[in-house]
Amino acid sequence: MQQIGEHALVLGAGMSGLLAARVLTEAYERVTLLDRDPIHGDAAPRRGVPQGRHAHVLLARGGEIIEDLFPGITGELVADGAVVSHPLADFRFCAGGHTLRQVPIGATMLQSTRPFLESHLRDRVLTLPGLTPAGGRDVVGLSIADDRRRVTGVRVVRGRDASTEETLAADLVVDATGRAGRTPVWLQVLGLPRPREEEFVVSVGYASRLMRLPRDYAEREKAIAVGPVPDRPRGLALLEVEGGQHIVTLAGFEGRHHPPADHDGFVEFAASVSPPDVLSAIRRAEPLGEIATYRYQSSVRRHYEELPNLPDGLLVTGDALCSFNPIYGQGMTLAAMQASTLRNSLAQGLPGLTLRFFRAASRAVDDPWDLGVGADLALPQFRDRRTLSTRLTSAYTRQVQAAGAIDDQVARQFVRVTHLLDPPDQLLRPGLAWRVLRARTAHLARRVPRLSAPGR
């Protein structure tokens, strides 16, 4: 790619910052990667990414993009212990109360803990030519040109007491500081408009623990995900990860369904959502470490593409642009898709870069946002927020999930859409819609039992 600038600053060395930095080294002579946390290779949970203690599913599309950006990374991850699974063949998925047919979908998934994945990407990023890591820096604002038409850098503070403030100059600033990203506030402080924000309050509680599962279970399948259903707004993800460990994440909507942090409460909650074989394995597992909890209040999407007078030289990516209910496992894949979008936008040169990127990134977010919010809306507590269109979509999705329990092609197509490999309209193809209808008739005739909550 042609060089279009001298210095780019990436704020945040999480998933989206690492991926953006990778792409920017193709177009800028120097790229500085800033973070509050130290930027080094340890595969350990860290303060700036508290969600890193919870199961992080890398969807198939995300894995493909990451391999494209870092050729050979999949092999390295696997050599170091990451697990390759074949959804749905050895990754069981219970969606809408139906266990989908366990057929291959034509793609693989990489399973590891979040710190393990992040540290491997970081190691690769740190070797990129022109890349300088700058940990221990807290970004506190933007600097702007006198005519207010161009962002010229950022203000950062260093040190424990935040006593030293400095301004770092750059041609391009990319905010990848995650959910708490403060670009809207920084713009406001400069007297510039904030982007419109869409917020969908979900109040999901998480509790996770690393475990060593009994061999009889561990040898049978590599992962299971159980999604929430209207009469049980709870879910579970159990993934085999590096080092022969499994990570179990429990999740529930609204206070009384938030999973607890004590051992007995954790197992009791698991009993309310796990199929019997999984519950038996969890009961017999050896816990490795403490139970970590996390509270996720709302999905938030920021519409920078609607601000035509945004100053040049400023982009926003990852959770700082759009943060999804994590229960659908889309965040890291979206960060990867936005890195691809950034690469394409940079390839078209500097003029119009800001708006070109935000428009393309917004288009890339549309389908996953609709899928995630649409799935939330299927739960009764969000009944008041449904429109006619979301009601129809939810009703059809329920039929697709039920059909996926008895029809291989429907199961495969549904999961390819949830892995962001195919667009959602593939579920409306006449051939597939006909299979959904046919399965519904078979369901009614056979009354296929729904996955019940065995512990209750």
Q: Applying CB under 6 A, which residues contact ligand FAD?
A: 11-17, 34-37, 48-49, 51, 54-57, 137-139, 176-178, 180, 206, 294, 296, 318-320, 326, 329-333, 335
CB nearer to ligand FAD: give 48 or 104. 48
Beta carbon nearer to ligand FAD, 16 or 399: 16
As given in the structure block, the two tokens for residue 15 are 């998933």
What DSSP assignment string belongs to 54-121? S---B-HHHHHHHHHHSTTHHHHHHHTT-EEE-BTTTEEEEETTEE------S--EEE--HHHHHHHH
Give the SS3 label for residue 154: strand
Angle between helices 388-404 and 353-377 (to 10 degrees): 70
- Whether the CB-CB separation of 120 and 77 falls below 8 Å is answered with yes
Q: What is the nearest approach in angstroms of ligand FAD to the Cβ of residue 274?
A: 18
CB of 156 to ligand FAD, least distance (A): 7
Q: How far is the CB of 331 from ligand FAD (least distance, A)?
A: 2
For ligand FAD, the closer of residues 261 and 442 by Cβ is: 261
Helix (H, G, I), strand (E, B) or coil at 50: helix
CB nearer ligand FAD, residue 54 or residue 435: 54
Exposed e or buried b for every residue in 61-88, given b needs 16+ CB within 10 A?
A: bbbbbbbebbeebbeebeeeebbebbbb
Query: Can you tell me the distance from the alpha carbon of 452 to that of 226, in angstroms, rounded to the nearest whole number?
Result: 11
With beta carbons less than 8 A apart as the criterion, state whether 156 and 165 touch.
yes
d(CA 341, CA 334): 10
53 vs 435, beta carbon nearer ligand FAD: 53
Q: Is 166 helix (H, G, I), strand (E, B) or coil?
A: strand
Q: Which is nearer to ligand FAD, 128 or 448 (CB)?
A: 128
Helix (H/G/I), strand (E/B), else coil: 139:
strand
Minimum separation from the CB atom of position 277 to ligand FAD (A): 22
**Least distance to ligand FAD from the beta carbon of 55, Å?**
6
> 323 or 354: whose CB is closer to ligand FAD?
323
Rank residues 19 and 144 by Cβ distance to ligand FAD and give the closer one: 19
Q: Find the shortest distance in angstroms from Cβ 53 to ligand FAD.
A: 8
C-beta closer to ligand FAD: residue 325 or 399: 325
Minimum CB separation of residue 178 from ligand FAD in Å reads: 3
Q: How many Cβ atoms sit within 10 Å of the Cβ of residue 426?
A: 13
Beta strands in 213-326 (DSSP E): 223-226, 234-241, 245-253, 286-303, 314-316, 322-323
Is-contact 296 206, C-beta < 8 A? yes
CB of residue 17 to ligand FAD, shortest distance in Å: 5
Burial (CB < 10 A; 0-12, 13-18, 19+), residue 14, is: buried
- Shortest reach from residue 429's CB to ligand FAD, in Å: 27
